[in-house]
Structure 1
Amino acid sequence: MQTGPRNLITDIAGLKVGNAQDDAIKTGSTVLLSDGPFTCGVSIMGGAPGTRETDLLAPDKTVQQVDALVLSGGSAFGLDAASAVADELRAQGRGYGVGDQVVPIVPAAILFDLLNGGTKTWAQNPYRALGARAFAAAGETFALGSVGAGTGATLASHKGGLGSASMVLPSGHTVGALVAVNALGDASPDGAHFWAAPWEIGDEFGAAGCLRTAPGTLPATKLDARNTTIAIVATDAQLTQAQCTRMATAAHDGMARALVPSHTPHDGDLVFALSTDARAMGDPQADTLWLGHAAATCLARAIARGVYHARPAPGDVRPCFQPG
């Protein structure tokens, strides 16, 4: 397996990602856009999710495609970032047509970063402005770590962050992942190695290798409700909404490989999965299987990359994996 040229989700043609953050609040928002509407599904396995328009993504619902996806900090306040993105899309004439109106479909998910040392005494919800700024910043290249929705993210032992990774399959299809890592558990058993190490490509998160832990050893946790890892996996393979939903479900394996523990009652762990429908599948049965595997692998790598690239800031409540 090999990565795409950027090792980012934007290695899938037509996708763009924008980030905006407020370093005083220690929070931010991330927007994923495409050249046109895309097919999308979702799988939620955490016990405490915060979402917008995810019910619409079930395969039996009327709308089969969406116009953008938003990941945001801010708990329930962060859902307002998607409202700004919907406004921007509507101004461009993009959305689901209803009579002479268009209604942009912008599903969103949030993580809890309200107790991370930032200043949260705002008089007006800041997330609409963050969503608008992230929309305006969207491009094919973007930074990882303490940016966008990953700005104020934390783990049990370290800062979290925004991560991304990609993979090109032998079939020619590209798969990518984008994730804001803010878990109850940890991405590293000892502060030097990553749980995701078996799936690392090259030295994308340090090449420290694997570490075996003693049987029965309990991992570190925050043991509270200040959590949630939210992700997007994407492909250029032509998938139905049901197949996207299956890919989202498979991608959760990558979350479990990279974060220990994961899918807890105190995490709202969620994965969106999208298809740009650009490349037909040669063998639908085999290709669908390997797309799910690639989505899980990319997500595990993206999680480690997000933590690896986090950078320190004044007032942090957790150290960075890479100090200094």
Structure 2
Amino acid sequence: MQPNEQSKPKKNTARPLGRLGAFLLVTLALLLITLLGVIWVLEKGPSPTITEKFCRSMRETSAIRWIPNIFLSQEEVDAFKSESTENDETETVNTSLIRIAPAAESGTETADDGVELIAITRGTAKGKLLIVRDPSRVILGVSSEEFNAKTPGLQLTELVAKYGGVAGTNAGGFNDENGRGNGGVPQGLVISGGALLHTAREGERYNVVGFDADHILHVGTMTADEALAQGLTDAVSFRTHDGLASSLIINGEVQSKNLGGGVNPRTAIGQCADGSVLLLVLDGRSINTLGATMQDVADIMLEYGAVNAGNLDGGSSSVMVYDGEIINNCASVTGPRNIPTAFIVLPEGD
């Protein structure tokens, strides 16, 4: 070292890193306080209607249904539970109300392939409605014929491709503890291709949505044996985490005792008097599209002529595929979820 050369002092990086860490901690704390403040206003604010809607919306989710309990007691939360959970008995579908048009008459000028896609806007929800003129094209696809927790379900694009379909929506619910389910095990009943593939307990009554061998949609409460006795060949069951049943419309009448719930993404299926099938997916849980109530879904189904209609699994599972692409905005932050079942539209002529 030269005599006039001085060693350079080492920079102390600990202090800037400490300041950055403190800044991040303060920022996170402020965000948490702000979030809790918003939740407090929603739960304890001056509007009982907003509080009810918020609590019902949260209770229908898998991962965050505990949020209403942050500032509300369990008794207060339970007060918002829909009366529809007390009696899930529904009337039987009158199949004579459905007269399926012959294949030669099923085409329309607006849908050369017998499928029509419509953009839907209703209240705080936006989504897609698919009208399938020939109900024989709609089947229930499954990720596996032997469901188990070790084998994840498939994403909807994979399920539609598996059956060579042109479109599809998610269908029944599945085991989804804390929103971490892998879609491997359905909840309740699954009938596909005329075979009973899954049932929870013998003799249990389910909220069933599905087609019989004549391609007529049935919705209602029944056991697996009753579903098979009615000739159902492609069916699932679904009930929301808040206990709401799936029946929306039966024989042209809205099942008012079964409606309720909050604002969430929704999936539903219906059938018109001429046999046309309505597949509806409504987005939600975003700034510009909050979601829909079950009443919103029923109103849309009625508007487009549904005689019978049922609610399917919603929330982050709600997704629609058309021509190999997802055409709605999935609410899941991690992308489309793995699911065990889907209603699939087969190509014309299959």
TM-score, normalization: structure 2? 0.28
Larger Rg: 2
TM-score, normalization: structure 1? 0.30
